[in-house]
Chains A and B, each alone.
Chain A
């Protein structure tokens, strides 16, 4: 069964460093998302991406964050200058098509980012 994959599974970085989290969505999916979950808190939406541009973003997704689909298969989340409060589990998700609210979002296993 097709699945969303994410690399690395765990990333440790120092405050102020740039990190890139990578995701490979399911191949025929068109809509991509990043969510994050700070330890002990709820899963929160960061950004959605469709047709090579950001479709929607939350207040969390400030200028330190960017997303890219560099090669038609990967979907990346970059944090330019990490802060301690960026430590969280980051989930990538993809879905088949926009506009249909019942379509499932398929989630990857997550990347645990630890900022020291």
Chain B
């Protein structure tokens, strides 16, 4: 079965520090991977997506993610955290056609001044 695992339900970093949010997927076929962000009282907004064109994907707000097939991972990073990055982050996968997204449980990012 398709699944996504996000390690750490809550990550706390200092402002200016590296952000690393982990995502691992299970798949026997090439996946399409997505990171969504949810700010308080808002919907899910796409940060970036992996479409097999390049393993390092750059997204909005300075975030990027690297697809590592050998590790079945798609971790999200940002070199320097801002206070405005505080939100819930969801990793999601889909496999073919317009099949539904399968989401991880989410990681809440807190940024400390």
Q: Which residues of A contact B (CB under 8 A)?
A: 4, 6, 31, 33, 35, 41-45, 48, 50, 55-56, 58, 91, 93, 95, 97-110
Give every chain B residue within 8 A of A42 (Cβ-Cβ).
90, 103-106
Q: Which residues of B contact A (CB under 8 A)?
A: 32, 34, 36, 41-46, 49, 51, 90, 92, 94-106
Having A101-B94, A101-B97, one finds 4 other A-B pairs with CB under 8 Å, namely: A42-B105, A43-B92, A100-B98, A101-B96
Give every chain B residue within 8 A of A55 (Cβ-Cβ).
98
Give every chain A residue within 8 A of B42 (Cβ-Cβ).
109
Considering residues B42, B95, B102, B103, which has the most beta carbons from chain A within 10 angstroms of its beta carbon?
B103
Give every chain B residue within 8 A of A103 (Cβ-Cβ).
98
| Inter-subunit contact A104/B49 (CB<8 Å) | yes
Who on chain B is nearest to A48 by CB? Answer: B100
Q: A101-B94, A102-B49 are in contact. Are A43 and B100 (CB under 8 A)?
A: no
For residue B82, give the distance in angstroms from its CB to the closest CB of chain A.
22
Give every chain B residue within 8 A of A50 (Cβ-Cβ).
98
How many angstroms between the C-alpha atoms of A64 and B87 in the bound complex?
33
| Inter-subunit contact B95/A4 (CB<8 Å) | no
Who on chain B is nearest to A92 by CB? Answer: B43
| Inter-subunit contact B98/A98 (CB<8 Å) | yes
